[in-house]
Structure 1
Amino acid sequence: MADDIIQLIPRQQQVDDDEEANTTSPMDVSYDISLPAQHTYLGDDMEDLTGRTVFEEDSIHTVPVLTSHDVILVPGQILPLQIFRPLEISMMRRIIEEDRTLGIIADGITARANQNKKPVLGTTAEVRSYKEETDDLSGVSTLVVKAEGRQRFKLLSSRRRTDGILTAEIKILPDDPTPDVGEVARLQSLNRFRKPSKTSVGTLGRYGFAPLTQWPAWVYLQYDAEVLVDRIKSELSEWTENFATLRFPEDPGKFSYWVAGSLLLDDEVRLEMLSYDSPVQRLRCELGILRECVVLTCKECRSKVADRGDVFSMSQQGPQGTYVNPHGYVHEMITVAGRTLTPTATFTR
């Protein structure tokens, strides 16, 4: 997580009044917010792969697994990798030649899950583009990969082959379709008179079936996926001032994954998101976090880093993005427009 890898150290700055006055003038800077999602720092000579591999829900497969990167990957999230280890390079070559799919499990997750008697969860990743480079002086090979999270899975068993590659037997977890609120109680013959939730969520047009059930209309409103998406968008608009520039999926299920990958969440919270089969349950959890989270703090010293309104999205894909440095370490980062360090502030959630 980003709060695990970034250590913020307060630094005293002394400026006189004249210098401070000169530095407060606004300056317009042009920046292409589509660049971060493209990971152009990896090079523009990567070979793109076409096609897509999708496993059937509840099916069982054996896939190679990477566990050396401390990232909780969610479906739809881009994962950049720079691989130096010969064993992992050999594994990735084989993956690219076959179905281009591997499993991603964050390092340390298996031990914590076994300790808490919880299932080990992960996400399949599909290689979208790659390139291999060899240093002329040292002869060391590097494999650069851009992969995309695809489907959630539960780890059934794992073993290390004689060549050192870790393989795992996994079960693909299902993604439940977005439920139609009140489908059981509603008279099918009256469907043509229904109104979309965005036009009148509180009228009898959409929740007219409520008097036929034991629950009032406002209860069904809490579990309407379209309403939850609109409420999350409203909360996100308070998090980042350039919310209008973001691009996110309209499907409630894919949108819930986008939110999980864009928020600065603790590993345990993000794993909990992966455990939900229902997009409505995931959206409700995310909405609760957005409403209760007030400030961002350092995980170690609990000092306040920024208010949630200071978060500034440098990418069309969302306020948080992944980045792999030249040494192969993957970071998740956010940008804030200002910073305030106070030793007594806490993370409110």
Structure 2
Amino acid sequence: MEDGRILERERLQIEHIQQQLDHEELQFEEVDDLQDSSGDDQDPTALGYGGAGTSSEFNFNTSIASLHTYLGEVEDTHNRTVFLDGGAILNLPLFYFEGVVLFPGATLPLRVIQSNFVAAIERALSQVDVPYTIGVIRIYREPRDLRMKLATVGTTAEVRQYRRLEDGSLNVVTRGQQRFCLRRHWIDVERVPYGEIQIIKEDLPLRTPRDAFGRLAPLSNLSSRRLASKKSIALMLRSKTGETESEENSDESFQNGLSLTERRIHQSVTGSSYEHDTMDEPASSDDDRFMYESDQEIRSNLNDSDSMKALLSYPGKQTEMDSRNGNCSTSGKQSCKVEMLSNCCKNTDAYLSRGISRAFWPHWVYRMFDSYCLAQRAGDMWKQIVGAPNVDGLLKKPDLLSFHIASKIPVSESTRQELLEIDGIPYRLRREIELLESINLIRCKNCLTIIARRSDMLVMSSEGPLGAYVNPGGYVHEIMTLFKANGLALQGPAITRYSWFPGYAWTITNCATCGTQMGWLFTATKSKLKPRSFWGIRSSQVAEETR
């Protein structure tokens, strides 16, 4: 039965994610003149943090860049892959990229030129069990190590659009689907890369239980137990001060043994929370154990000579202490006893009388793992720091939001791989919140020269400030867009052909200190197009995040 419930939960989650992704189906639109596209209705708030503040300073249509029009016309496959069960093991054609980390829901354009990878796409289109699906994984080099290594976690990608060119190459647009663990990889007789992968089981979003905190019910119906504790304290006080209690240990005999002043104090302390507790649920065995342990701790403290001496020496306006024997003098004995009883009762009931939650954990502990609370916090920070794309529609879908932010956040390649490998929605969201709070300086990976700051980010694509693009040679680059950068040197002329941002020419740019290629400068080719220029910096050449 337990296994059946787990499989049913996974099935519902898979259907939920698939419905969300299907709503974001890739479609191309006709644009009469990309060079003169002004986008007068462009929302200025979509520029992101640090972007131009008015529509007169920004009129580029950001939706064009996300269409990857530089690939030319592509045909929709009209195929939608069914999500695989968590834990499923299968073999897929494998694509590996340096400097690229694909997340579920993200778009990955490909220019497939090499014959073995063309064959891999052909295999993916025709395979029976999971058609139109490939595996995408990052390759990297360790510092001071020339050997390439494959990451252990990747993402399946569905071929959404493709076009076969006359020279035999392919233009392909894919979309990330599900995370997987790479079990092993090989190259078959036709030199097609393959991998044995295992689909990762994704968690469902967690919400804090309704009654986890916020009321005084976890330890309930405690009036009698609380009264017993106070009786024990009073009896111990009487024993330590030389008095005896010969009457039966009942509430009536207990109160009869008190003076008028003591009785008023006792009734004021015990009566403050009696009405609330009588409405609580019956106490559980855990509550009984808790109260027993609390009483034992109180008795232990009162029996301890040092604790008792400190209690008896509690300062009071009418208390007089005899430094020789540690007892109250005759003139102050009554007031000392009353004050000790009052303060001891109040201290043992501090949490209860002040209305503090008696939950097993404080509320902030639950919220650390509440996917919906974390999603709201991450979404608010995203709007303040980055701005676009708008994530309000994903606030009630923490699983999709965590992948969405991870795929767009302008951080280094290795940090994005770290986000991909995190299991559990709350842990991924908390790491993203930490990054949004900390990212500030953008540095060269080799020499750590400061290239830009977080406030220099500019959103030039409706998909966000970071996206993947492919050049004519088939190399995929993930770049973050900035309206200002420092310490960079231009190399070569400005070129308009195969521009990722229609209406802009691109120029290669290197780090002026170490000569590493950092990205490109994009300059407008039309006088009315704004911004006039911006920078595209490769995430693979960005150093780890520092404040």
TM range (shorter): 0.7 to 0.9
**What's the CA shift for 1:273?**
1.7
Equivalent position to 1:33, from 44, 54, 62: 62
2: CA distance, partners of 1:109 / 1:300: 14
Q: Which residue of 2 aligns with 1:307?
A: 453
Residues 267-286 of structure 1: pairs in structure 2 closer than 5 A: 267-286=413-432
1:248 and 1:317 in contact (8 A); partners too: no
Q: Which residue of 1 aligns with 2:444?
A: 298
Q: Which residue of 2 aligns with 1:101?
A: 133
**What's the CA shift for 1:130?**
0.1
Equivalent position to 2:406, from 242, 254, 260: 260
1: CA distance, partners of 2:421 / 2:115: 33
Residues 194-343 of structure 1: pairs in structure 2 closer than 5 A: 211-240=357-386, 242-243=387-388, 249-250=394-395, 251-341=397-487
How big is each residue's C-alpha offset from its partner over 1:48-102, in whole Å with a ceiling of 9 and x where there is no partner? 4332231111111111111245411111111100011112112211211230111
Q: Which residue of 2 aligns with 1:54?
A: 83
Q: Secondary structure at the match of 2:91?
A: strand
**What's the CA shift for 1:126?**
0.7
Amino acid at match of 1:163: E
1:246 and 1:318 in contact (8 A); partners too: no
Q: CA separation of 1:70/1:295 partners in 2, compared to 1, >3 Å: closer, same or farther?
A: closer
Q: Which residue of 2 aligns with 1:143?
A: 170
2: CA distance, partners of 1:61 / 1:258: 26
**What's the CA shift for 1:41?**
1.3
Q: Does 1:42 align with 2:39?
A: no
1: CA distance, partners of 2:92 / 2:74: 28
2: CA distance, partners of 1:229 / 1:333: 25
Q: CA separation of 1:301/1:293 partners in 2, compared to 1, >3 Å: closer, same or farther?
A: same
Q: Which residue of 1 aligns with 2:191?
A: 164
Q: CA separation of 1:334/1:111 partners in 2, compared to 1, >3 Å: closer, same or farther?
A: closer
How big is each residue's C-alpha offset from its partner over 1:235-294, in whole Å with a ceiling of 9 and x where there is no partner? 223433x54756863411111111111113333322222222211110001101111122
Q: Secondary structure at the match of 1:163?
A: coil
1: CA distance, partners of 2:120 / 2:447: 40
2: CA distance, partners of 1:244 / 1:38: 15
Q: Secondary structure at the match of 2:172?
A: strand
1:153 and 1:170 in contact (8 A); partners too: yes
Unaligned runs of 5+ in 1: 1-25, 135-139, 191-209
Q: Secondary structure at the match of 1:107?
A: strand
How big is each residue's C-alpha offset from its partner over 1:3-24, in whole Å with a ceiling of 9 and x where there is no partner? xxxxxxxxxxxxxxxxxxxxxx
Q: Does 1:348 align with 2:543?
A: no
2: CA distance, partners of 1:183 / 1:109: 48
2:379 and 2:391 in contact (8 A); partners too: no
Amino acid at match of 2:376: D
**What's the CA shift for 1:27?**
5.3
Q: Does 1:86 align with 2:115?
A: yes
**What's the CA shift for 1:212?**
4.4
Q: CA separation of 1:324/1:216 partners in 2, compared to 1, >3 Å: closer, same or farther?
A: same
How big is each residue's C-alpha offset from its partner over 1:133-165, in whole Å with a ceiling of 9 and x where there is no partner? 01xxxxx32101101111111111222211111
2: CA distance, partners of 1:119 / 1:331: 18
Q: CA separation of 1:230/1:169 partners in 2, compared to 1, >3 Å: closer, same or farther?
A: same
1: CA distance, partners of 2:152 / 2:142: 6
2:468 and 2:478 in contact (8 A); partners too: yes
Q: CA separation of 1:226/1:235 partners in 2, compared to 1, >3 Å: closer, same or farther?
A: same
| Structure whose alpha-carbon radius of gyration is higher | 2
Q: CA separation of 1:97/1:109 partners in 2, compared to 1, >3 Å: closer, same or farther?
A: farther
With structure 2 as the length reference, what TM-score do the two structures score? 0.49
**What's the CA shift for 1:176?**
0.2
Unaligned runs of 5+ in 2: 1-54, 218-355, 489-512, 514-542
2:205 and 2:372 in contact (8 A); partners too: no
Q: CA separation of 1:248/1:305 partners in 2, compared to 1, >3 Å: closer, same or farther?
A: farther
What value does the CA root-mean-square deviation take over the aligned residues?
3.2
2:94 and 2:195 in contact (8 A); partners too: yes
2: CA distance, partners of 1:292 / 1:110: 25
Q: CA separation of 1:119/1:128 partners in 2, compared to 1, >3 Å: closer, same or farther?
A: closer
2: CA distance, partners of 1:269 / 1:252: 20
Amino acid at match of 1:232: A
1:125 and 1:150 in contact (8 A); partners too: yes
**What's the CA shift for 1:178?**
0.7
Q: CA separation of 1:125/1:243 partners in 2, compared to 1, >3 Å: closer, same or farther?
A: closer
Amino acid at match of 1:173: I
Q: Secondary structure at the match of 1:52?
A: coil
1: CA distance, partners of 2:186 / 2:389: 47
2:411 and 2:545 in contact (8 A); partners too: no
Q: CA separation of 1:258/1:276 partners in 2, compared to 1, >3 Å: closer, same or farther?
A: same
1:185 and 1:212 in contact (8 A); partners too: no
1:239 and 1:310 in contact (8 A); partners too: no
Q: CA separation of 1:275/1:44 partners in 2, compared to 1, >3 Å: closer, same or farther?
A: same
Equivalent position to 2:179, from 148, 152, 164: 152
User: How many residues in Structure 1 have an aligned counterpart in Structure 2?
Assistant: 293
